[in-house]
Amino acid sequence: MNQKDSIPKEIYEIHANICQCLANPKRLEIINTLRDKELSATEIAEKIGISSANASQHLAIMRNKGILKSRRDGVSIHYSLANPKVITACDIMREVLFEYLNEKQSLTKKVKF
């Protein structure tokens, strides 16, 4: 039996839920914004150009999935990445995306109309 066969189905469900959470452009932008710093919800909203209410919704979802951690400072809540490996995972997926786009572009150039 290999390692893949021993993974409980519940792990796949959790994995899919996290990926679903990350399958949103604004949430990916939030992750990139928090790449190497902690910011308040207001600062995050300003940096990515969305309302504070919308940012709060995204931040709550990401915090509940364990992607972000939060810290209260007076009336402000500051957010940071719960695990720096999230950045690594996002960077790898972006590399895969760019390789895919480059391959598609190469194929398109070979086609003559």
Each residue's pLDDT tens digit, 49-96 = 999 999 999 999 999 999 999 999 999 999 999 999 999 999 999 999
Q: In terms of Cα–Cα distance, which of 73, 87, 22 is closest to 43?
A: 73
Residue 26 lies in a domain: yes
Q: What letter represents residue 110's amino acid?
A: K
pTM of the model: 0.84
Question: What residue numbers bound the domain in which 78 lies?
Answer: 3-82
In a domain, 107, yes or no: no
CA 81 to chain centre: 10
| Alpha carbon distance 20, 84 (integer Å) | 19
Say if 96 falls within a structural domain: no
